[in-house]
Chains A and B, each alone.
Chain A
Amino acid sequence: MASSDATLVQRLRADRSGDELRELYRRYAPELFGFATSALGDRELAEEVVQDVFAQLWRHANDYDKRRASVRTWLYAIARNRIIDAHRRAAVRPQRTDDENALDGVAEVDVALDQAVLRWQVTSALSRLSSQHREVIRLAHYGGLTMREIADKTGVPIGTVKSRTSYALRHLRLIFDEMDIER
């Protein structure tokens, strides 16, 4: 049976093999990386954030109190601070003007980071749909096509396009519910 997150963190201080850290990394690094990439718009900076999060994790494993927060919440809190640090460092360098998602001032950081989490979750949810479901959402929502236009474009009967669209949204709703997403 897989160990709980809290158990892995407790074992981390005595861990010499790296096994506990590797397990925690595999559980959380992908989503933390998605979050950091979404917040920073820079893959290399996002990798540095992920590295720093796990360095903080093992350095401060003794400070973790599972009554106060889940491991996931704790890791996101560390990542959030690291992203803010990265943003501050970037602020002293010439601004990139092509990144509309870049954080735009300390006062807006919290809102921007919440949006970054949400963007990553939506992207992740879309990736879990079947290609057919993604396609109808892409054509209808992002492409602005009606059901009839999609049927004409794809050669799929209009009734199938309509039911496929309804199933796609229903499935997306379920994935969002699993992720506990709401606006």
Chain B
Amino acid sequence: MSGCRSHAEQVGPYVLGALEPDEMDEMRGHLAECARCAAEVRSLAELPALLDLVQADAEVAVLSPRLEDEVLDRFVRERARSAPRRRRWPRLAIPAVAVAALLAALLVVIVPGDTNTAYAHAELWSLPAGGGAEGTADVAKVTGGTRVKLRADHLPVTNGRTYELWCVRNDGRWINGGRFYAQPDGTAAAELTARVKPGEYHVVVITRRSDRGMRGAEVMRGKLNY
């Protein structure tokens, strides 16, 4: 406050023009004589113009917590892509590797099971909003997260073709794996990376795209078999 005992409380209302007409006149007379109040008025004088920049009911736009996950997921995906390539193997090692790979391939044929990349698989089943969609998700480990190879058929395409992959962690938290787009015929194939460690989640969910911070309707869901 201005420190002026008689008119300190009038300064704010005067700056906003919210005194009665006779009080405004009286305050103007006072300001001609009181340096303290005059200085206080000057320091506040620009506020009405600043307040005019916004509406009375303007609210601070609040960030969706989901966006932080999306930014970090994108970071992880780019990091995974830009990770240094493995050192070239010495030339002499190549034949040995080729023999080993051939033996491994034979073993895979003889003993059916997981490939050396996918370590978990889920059949995705349609939920009411899915309209009969179906699909699969194969999960592989990558630097900083897991990569989900997604295949889907019969996705609804009448109200938009943008979908999102979510990995539901064991603690209940939903981790966004990014967006993908269905073809006009309802099929989709995508590889998405989620910032969640192997074994940290057992449920994969496909939703419609999020809107205004709200997750879209669930379309498909499946449980990973590790």
Contacts and interface: CB of A to CB of B under 8 A. Distances in A.
Interface of A: 16-18, 21-22, 25-26, 29-30, 33-34, 37-38, 43-44, 46-47, 50-51, 54-55, 58-59, 115, 118-120, 122-124, 126-127, 137-138, 140-143, 145-148, 150, 159, 162-163, 165-170, 172-173, 176, 181-183
Given A124-B60, A166-B12, A44 B212 contact: yes
A126 B46 CA distance: 15
15 contacts: A18-B76, A25-B71, A33-B61, A34-B60, A34-B61, A50-B63, A119-B53, A119-B58, A123-B59, A127-B60, A147-B19, A166-B11, A170-B44, A176-B47, A183-B50
Interface in B117-135: none
Contacts of B59: 123, 127
B11 A51 contact: no
B72 A55 contact: no
B9 A118 contact: no
Interface in B49-85: 49-51, 53-56, 58-64, 67-68, 70-72, 74-76, 78-79
B171 interface: no
Given A55-B74, A140-B18, A170-B12, A119 B54 contact: yes
A16 to B, nearest CB: 6
A11 B53 CA distance: 39
B60 A148 contact: no
Contact of A122 (B53, B74, B143, B213): B53
Contact of B43 (A30, A123, A173): A173
B16 interface: yes
Given A18-B195, A22-B68, 7 more contacts: A29-B63, A122-B51, A122-B58, A123-B58, A142-B51, A150-B18, A173-B43
Is the interface on chain B under 10, 10 to 19, 20 to 34, or 35 or more residues?
Answer: 35 or more
Contacts of B195: 18
Most buried by A among B43, B50, B74, B78: B50
A29 B1 CA distance: 35
B177 to A, nearest CB: 15
Contacts of B62: 30
Contacts of B216: none
Given A43-B61, A127-B60, A21 B1 contact: no
Contact of B50 (A30, A118, A143): A118
A37 B61 CA distance: 7
Contacts of B79: 16
A2 B19 CA distance: 48
B20 interface: yes
A165 B12 contact: yes
A79 B195 CA distance: 25
B8 interface: yes
Contacts of A181: 50
A122 B53 CA distance: 8
B187 interface: no
Interface string B67-107: 11011101110110000000000000000000000000000
B183 interface: no
Most buried by A among B55, B58, B71: B71
Given A145-B18, A147-B19, A162 B61 contact: no
A111 B13 CA distance: 31
B198 interface: no
A145 to B, nearest CB: 7
B48 interface: yes
B205 to A, nearest CB: 21
